[in-house]
Chain A
Amino acid sequence: MILPRPARYLLLALLAVGFFVLIEFHSSLSSTVIGLIIVGMLAIVIGLFYFVGREMSPLHNVTAVLLLGFFILFLQLNRIQVLQASEVQAVPGNNRQTERVFGDERGEILSSDGVVVAFSEPATESETFDFRRVYPHGELYAHTVGYVSLTFGSEGIEQSYQDALVADTGELGLVSGGEPTDLVLGINHELQLAAREALKDPETGADRNGSVVALDPRTGEIRALWSYPSFDPQPLASLSSREALDAVAEIEPSTDLGGIQCLDTPRCPKAYGDRQSPGSTFKVVVGGAALDSTPIELDSPVFPSVEAFNLPDGGATISNYNNANCGGPLLVLIARSCNAGFAQIAIEDVGPDQLIAQAERFGFNTKIPLDVPESDVVASNFPTDFGEFRGDGRGFDLFDKSNDLGQTAIGQFEVQATPLNMALVAAGIANEGTIMVPRIVAGEAVDDTTLDPFEPQEWRDATTRASANDLRDAMFEVVRNGTGTNLQIEGLDVGAKTGTADVGDDVHAWVISFAGPVNADPELAVAVLVERQQGEAGITGGRVAAPIARELFENFYGLDS
């Protein structure tokens, strides 16, 4: 049998396609599909040899195989150099882009209230580069503005807005381009300073590990983003590699620069690069699921006042804080943060599938599209496997891990959230269920007084509008009569949800909150996490974290007491 020439070419093309698919998509294909593709390609090779090869001399066949090999090289060359070039250039650790523009003049970066937080100044004659980058506020903006370093590449918006900040000098650096663009942050310098102060221990003035994130729920613009520990980016931007290396060695005495663990290193932007158990602040997500997808309403049914929730088959129990009796309608469950009631809602009413879906609508299990390098952002985690269906409980579905499901309802087990994500949870509720894409940069400065702002973009619909308004009322109730009374501020409507997450013997103190003028839309959403406070009686999110949020609201509205 003689195979017609077009059929031969088709088979060769199929081989190339198969190879390409394998290289390109091997990570997203199941092993069965990969196996099938490989078997198919082998079949084509054998077929070609059988039907075509025997008509040709062996020398022709071998040359044809080599030719095919070179064709594959050509395809791959196109892929690396053109099709995927920008992705390869964005791989973490690829500092080439930064090195090319290091020492060029970059645009200024200003806070929303006009304070210069990064600028370029001409270097002296004797130095290798034309300009040096200056960060006048040290550690204050390390996790937002970042830095540009010859040795360590660039971070923060210095990296993600590099194209705008650096004047276009043409690919070869031979063309003299226009002026570099100045950027304006959404961050308010005064509020950022207040966040740093507020996170310190109010009694001793000592620094506490944690994060403070404040943003505008209506636009997603970040108003303050501070996490401690932080570091001074200035030495990293040094024109001397030696100084930069020494500075990092001092910041991270024992860490290999290749793979920095986020825990306990100042270079880790904890506010969006580290996740912790959110504790009871997560209950608003469960509340959203209950309101969105079950008949439960804010004021009915009334859940019984109990000390703890017990699984019907005698699995573990989920107790209230201090084993207190707690119950009532959803409004009260949120206000008083009843663990038992939320465990019951999650297990008996919402169920795993709805809860997973709701958590993901609130931004869990996805990297938040903050305008910093994507690799620095860590996704919040909500577990997606609660085991097999095991049978009927008391009129509801029981799963192998229903007990874990109850724990997730109170923000424990494997639920972990970044402070930024929890700020977006509060913001979504404040903004009638819609979470906006969070942005550090508000826009480009046209001249000294004019801002060319970026369009706000919607990111997620976390809940329906009605559910969001219910949750907003419930969070107002938390401040009026619940665990967040520390946030009552004269002249403002404040909503909040506190959280106290157990981590071994310590606790994480959380609060998520929003505030606005009376009877108006909330204008600022805040998440506060104070990490690893000693787990003594009374050390709660309401007592430790809420006052920090309060300081921010007072500063923002000029109500400093």
Chain B
Amino acid sequence: MKPRNIEFGLLILAAVIASAGYYLASLGATAEIPVDVLPFFLVVLVLFFVTHLFIRFALPFADGLIFPLVALLNGLGFMMISRLDPDLAIFQAAWTFLGLIAFVGFVTIISDLKALEPYRYTLAAVGVAALLLPLVPGLGAEINGARIWVRIGPASIQPGEIAKVILATFFASYLAEKKDLLSLKAHQFGPIGLPAFKYFGPLLFAWGLTLVVMVQQRDLGTSLLFFTLFLVMVYVATGRSIYVFSGLSLFLGGGFLAWLSFGHVRVRVATWLDPFADVSNTGHQISQAQFALADGGLTGTGLGLGTPNKIPVVESDMIFAAFGEELGLLGATSILVIFLLFVSSGVRIALSAGSEFERLLSTGLVLLLGFQAFVIIGGTLRVLPLTGVTLPFVSYGGSSLISNYVILAILMRISHNSVVAAADELIASSDDSS
């Protein structure tokens, strides 16, 4: 079957699931989704189908699974946000609209990602500048203790979200060019061979800078993600596990230093190990999430019938707990499975990518989203200390949604181009043989 027809069929399924959820949530005994949110939900659904039409036209050969999966995540997220806070749902509809506009715009403008490669240092500079923006006095704003926001008029945006995508592009292009040099063993220390240090300079600089900035902004979640993105891309580029192990030791060392020097990090770790020691204060958020999940049980309280609003920041960081409470173990596991399917589609795209740069970029981005889901769900479930990042495509939040749609655009563009390139090659080789 053609990928676009698969996509259309699955998109209908996703729309049915999200609509059924929306309908159930609006029936719920305690949750009342006001009637005036319904048009927004319908608009979101229609937008998905309009985007599908655009993909038919612009990216006919792209992977057919990934867009319906994203639409399902986004649709379920919108459904849950409407149930949690109808006012936010209206904004989320606007963010979804802007995200899809970004998707369409990116796909239209960038017909070949390799065109970005020559601008890698410009991209690095733009990425770092975007990260630094919230620290500019008068422009930056602090929300919930993290200085990662920029206020423009009435809206607050997180430039760090889009900086992630930009810097991933820089890493990918740099590594694609220098991978052979980085894989060389220029220095031998016993059994461990290390590459020439000079090739590491720009990478370490960019990485160190972003880490410093993010620690400065107290955004531990994003810096953890960045770190992982960097490690994964270097490892995938060079195939040398020494990078992974030295990176992990660096991380453990850095984590220990952060634990020693920052009170808020110690509090995070303490509430991770024993969330119920201080249920009303430091452990409040994570305890409420555990209470909600425990109330959900196997099948959940039913949509609209739980009390997920008792969890602080439930609409963004903690939205997974809301699914766990109202849809139970079954529903929460479904969310996990959707993310796994998303990651596997992304990895398939990476495997088929036409160039090393595209392979690295798609790998980095898809694993970034997969790992981000792992970090925030792990934080909600106390597998990891809680760090505030969004659940991709599900949580409330404009910056995150828009930058995630840009990532989707990159993945689908790479997917489409690789099929076209392979077909061209096939035609060329058959021409040769004739």
Contacts and interface: CB of A to CB of B under 8 A. Distances in A.
Nearest to B240: A58
A174 B302 CA distance: 11
Secondary structure of the A contact surface, majority rule? helix
A99 B291 CA distance: 13
A93 B276 CA distance: 8
A174 B383 CA distance: 35
Given A58-B239, A74-B333, A91 B279 contact: yes
B279 A92 contact: yes
A172 interface: yes
B contact residues, range: 35 or more
B336 A77 contact: yes
A contact residues, range: 35 or more
B280 A93 contact: yes
A53 B336 contact: no
Contacts of A94: 279, 287, 291, 294
A258 B280 contact: yes
Interface in B373-410: 374, 377-378, 381-383
A58 B236 contact: yes
Contacts of A77: 293, 324, 329, 332-333, 336, 381
A257 interface: yes
A172 B305 CA distance: 7
Given A73-B378, A80-B381, A88-B291, A53 B298 contact: no
Interface in A52-95: 53-54, 57-59, 61-63, 66-67, 69-70, 72-74, 76-78, 80-82, 84-86, 88-89, 91-94
Interface string B205-230: 00000000000000000000000000
A96 interface: yes
Most buried by B among A49, A73, A92: A73
Given A73-B383, A76-B383, A62 B235 contact: yes
A173 interface: yes
B351 A91 contact: no
B144 interface: no
B427 to A, nearest CB: 28
A53 B236 CA distance: 12
A91 B339 CA distance: 31
A444 B170 CA distance: 72
B295 interface: yes
Contacts of B291: 88-89, 91, 94, 96
B64 interface: no
A73 B333 CA distance: 9
B279 A93 contact: yes
A80 B295 contact: no
A53 B301 contact: no
Interface string B345-381: 0010011000000000001000100110010011001
A76 B302 CA distance: 21
B209 to A, nearest CB: 24
A53 B241 contact: yes
B378 A69 contact: yes
Contact of B294 (A49, A81, A174): A81
Interface in B270-323: 273, 276, 278-281, 287, 290-298, 301-302, 305, 307, 310
A62 B333 CA distance: 22
A171 interface: yes
Contact of A59 (B241, B332, B347): B347
A60 to B, nearest CB: 8
Contacts of B297: 81-82, 85
B29 interface: yes
Contact of B336 (A26, A70, A91): A70
B65 to A, nearest CB: 16
A351 to B, nearest CB: 37
B339 A70 contact: yes
Most buried by B among A61, A67, A85: A85
B414 interface: no
A73 B381 contact: yes
Interface string B324-343: 10001100110010011001
- Nearest 5 A/B pairs, CB to CB: A93-B279, A88-B294, A258-B280, A85-B294, A81-B329
Given A73-B336, A73-B378, 8 more contacts: A59-B350, A59-B363, A62-B363, A70-B339, A73-B381, A84-B294, A91-B291, A258-B280
Interface of B: 29, 232, 235-236, 238-239, 241, 244-245, 273, 276, 278-281, 287, 290-298, 301-302, 305, 307, 310, 324, 328-329, 332-333, 336, 339-340, 343-344, 347, 350-351, 363, 367, 370-371, 374, 377-378, 381-383
Interface of A: 23, 26, 46, 49, 53-54, 57-59, 61-63, 66-67, 69-70, 72-74, 76-78, 80-82, 84-86, 88-89, 91-94, 96, 99-100, 171-174, 257-258
12 contacts: A62-B363, A66-B371, A69-B374, A70-B374, A73-B383, A76-B383, A77-B293, A80-B294, A82-B329, A85-B293, A86-B294, A89-B295
